[in-house]
Structure 1
């Protein structure tokens, strides 16, 4: 290809290599003509971490999930039609009304774009707050495995999906360890799900020997070594390991450089039904970061990514864009390798138990599906 032809190509950048970003980038690599478009995926880590597998991965080395759940981007792009770049975006520069902008990465490198897909995912706390460097990630995993192995009494500060699933993984590996979930709501999880499901989840946790405390809160995670924690309500709890398992925050600090009006007060990206930003028709957002009334889950994020890819192609071709519509809420909660509960918000509300949940999630933690999304087997 001549330099002239290369310089005339439009550049499409996807920021974030999780569920939304992977699906957007793979679909774009299939739909965009490489003679006309240059596709780039930017992610801080050299691989995607399959988050449903992360909790088991940091608890135990059996079955060495780091060998499969750290999913590289080497086969992501269809026929090699795309480039992966490891890096962190620090700012976005584009004026409203302009059809082109510039990303600035940590270290100062600048990358121009004609269309941008923002899928930076969430900022987590506790055991799934992974670093970016590969060696540091692996040290982090080993460090947490050692902490879980050594601990006798563990408090999980937060009883959403992360806290519930982590408790199940700990009990699978060490049934004798004392595990306590402290959750600030009146029931586990949140009110997107009916009380009957949330109550049943608590019963299953208690059956496994997990102490469940609701309507209370661990104010801050104390520095180690730890002997006890006092909750907001004044309840003393004996523990030698306390971990934050509360819900995540959107990783959108850099998006604010487009203007404070691009984000809600909680940091979510304001989008149109086409998943375009309000003032920037060439910028799209997908995944956990969008301001949309639905639960933040990988299955939804993958759908966002595919729609964004389709709409970016339509944007360039001046075709009508499709609007995103949420489906029925559902959740599959693991409880170790062989247990769990699933809820579907259809008909009267379907609740399915260990056999179904184990078959669809608990055994594999969706790792084969995530690897397939990235072009791996």
Structure 2
């Protein structure tokens, strides 16, 4: 093994794990993986809403990173550490690590995901995250009137979790559009039917007028005012108003690499589209690719990027071109319901429950078992 290894630096330990699984044994002995993760643990957003409602589920969305690479592995884990900027040669981190605070790379992969409201993204870097989820569970148990702001997948899935578990609570979902989870009528109809059957009250084509005055979360009963003048009472207000891609690293390097959609410009190899950065990949929620930002599509990116990383590491060109797959969206309504959109077709509860039963937490937990 050469004395000075070249680094394949990967920022973000969620969607990138499929890449790591594919390359960790195939990289030439000249290279090693350096995985940088801001948190002390791995976190699984697709099941986070249930973890904020259902006791014991906090254990399903958190996994240890410590044994991903074996003790004798040449690959390196740097956890609880944030990447704060990068250039064409190295990544700067927010603390001194075993590799210093300026980590050189031969190849870089940015898998920084999106920023969501808690619990879909952690509110702490430490393992206290489990206690925070338990607190949220307790608060939902005490709440009597819950208003969910936002009728995309986050809002629909939270309404489903609450209505399925607590039949005695008043759950209202306020949505600015006329269709749940986009414009696909079949998907909307299935989700609307199932939520209504569970007892959810859905307010369509309304925005919250006093949004800037609202304190999200649990507390004293307060009033939500909609743009039409409707007033709703709530002692728990949940923010499901969407996501913001975490593109700050690329933006700090070169703001022109951020598209009008707020996403990172990439070429057909999923390389950041800059002549200054010929060996920097991006994947998942942050890339400007015309497709839904989903767990499925992030997994799809992985196989292409893994192949191209292996090519670069052996002196070849990155040549595998990314092509989008069929549109797939799975939205759970509790453990027994939901709907799936596959291309132009939609399927109801019998298919949607495929996601709802486990929310893929079994796959998540297996992902972080030792690789070596």
TM-score (norm 1): 0.89
User: In 1, are the aligned partners of 2:175 and 2:204 still within 8 Å (CA)?
Assistant: yes
| Alpha-carbon separation, structure 1, partners of 2:115 and 2:341 | 26
**Match in the other structure for 1:10:** 6
**Match in the other structure for 1:167:** 159
| Alpha-carbon separation, structure 2, partners of 1:170 and 1:215 | 22
Name the count of aligned residue pairs.
357
**Match in the other structure for 2:193:** 203
Secondary structure (helix, strand or coil) at the match of 1:90 reads strand
Identify the structure with the greater helix proportion: 1
- Residue 135 of structure 2 corresponds to residue 143 of structure 1: yes
Secondary structure (helix, strand or coil) at the match of 2:128 reads helix
**Which of 344, 359, 368 does residue 374 from structure 1 map onto?**
368
Pairs within 5 Å for 1:100-115: 101-107=89-95, 109-115=101-107
User: In 2, are the aligned partners of 1:275 and 1:284 still within 8 Å (CA)?
Assistant: yes
| Alpha-carbon separation, structure 2, partners of 1:139 and 1:296 | 29
User: In 1, are the aligned partners of 2:186 and 2:345 still within 8 Å (CA)?
Assistant: no
- Residue 172 of structure 2 corresponds to residue 183 of structure 1: no
Give the deviation of 1:76 after TM superposition: 3.3
Pairs within 5 Å for 1:22-33: 22-33=17-28
| Alpha-carbon separation, structure 2, partners of 1:304 and 1:82 | 22
Residue by residue over 1:237-277, the C-alpha shift from the partner in whole angstroms, topping out at 9 and shown as x without a partner, is: 11111111121111111221221111124431100010001
User: In 2, are the aligned partners of 1:229 and 1:239 still within 8 Å (CA)?
Assistant: yes
| Alpha-carbon separation, structure 2, partners of 1:215 and 1:31 | 52
User: In 2, are the aligned partners of 1:130 and 1:140 still within 8 Å (CA)?
Assistant: no
Residue by residue over 1:120-139, the C-alpha shift from the partner in whole angstroms, topping out at 9 and shown as x without a partner, is: 01100143241232243122
**Match in the other structure for 1:55:** 49
Unmatched segments (≥5 aa) in structure 1: 95-100
Give the deviation of 1:81 after TM superposition: 4.8
4+ residue stretches of structure 1 with deviation over 4 A?
none
**Match in the other structure for 1:70:** 62
Give the deviation of 1:233 after TM superposition: 2.8
| Alpha-carbon separation, structure 2, partners of 1:214 and 1:160 | 12
**Which of 233, 245, 252 does residue 247 from structure 2 map onto?**
252
Moved more, 366-375 or 70-79: 70-79
**Which of 235, 238, 243 does residue 243 from structure 1 map onto?**
238
Secondary structure (helix, strand or coil) at the match of 1:31 reads coil
**Which of 84, 108, 112 does residue 77 from structure 2 map onto?**
84
Residue by residue over 1:1-50, the C-alpha shift from the partner in whole angstroms, topping out at 9 and shown as x without a partner, is: 5xxx322x21110111112x1112222212212x3012111111122222
Secondary structure (helix, strand or coil) at the match of 2:9 reads strand
| Alpha-carbon separation, structure 2, partners of 1:341 and 1:276 | 33
- Residue 232 of structure 2 corresponds to residue 234 of structure 1: no
Compared with structure 1, are the counterparts of its residues 277 and 320 closer, same or farther at alpha carbon in structure 2 (3 Å cutoff)? closer
**Match in the other structure for 2:338:** 340
| Alpha-carbon separation, structure 2, partners of 1:221 and 1:339 | 34
Compared with structure 1, are the counterparts of its residues 373 and 81 closer, same or farther at alpha carbon in structure 2 (3 Å cutoff)? farther
Give the deviation of 1:104 after TM superposition: 1.1
**Match in the other structure for 2:319:** 321
Moved more, 71-80 or 142-151: 71-80
User: In 2, are the aligned partners of 1:60 and 1:145 still within 8 Å (CA)?
Assistant: yes
| Alpha-carbon separation, structure 1, partners of 2:185 and 2:298 | 26
Compared with structure 1, are the counterparts of its residues 81 and 185 closer, same or farther at alpha carbon in structure 2 (3 Å cutoff)? farther
| Alpha-carbon separation, structure 1, partners of 2:3 and 2:229 | 66
How big is the alpha-carbon RMSD for the aligned residues of Structure 1 and Structure 2?
A: 2.0
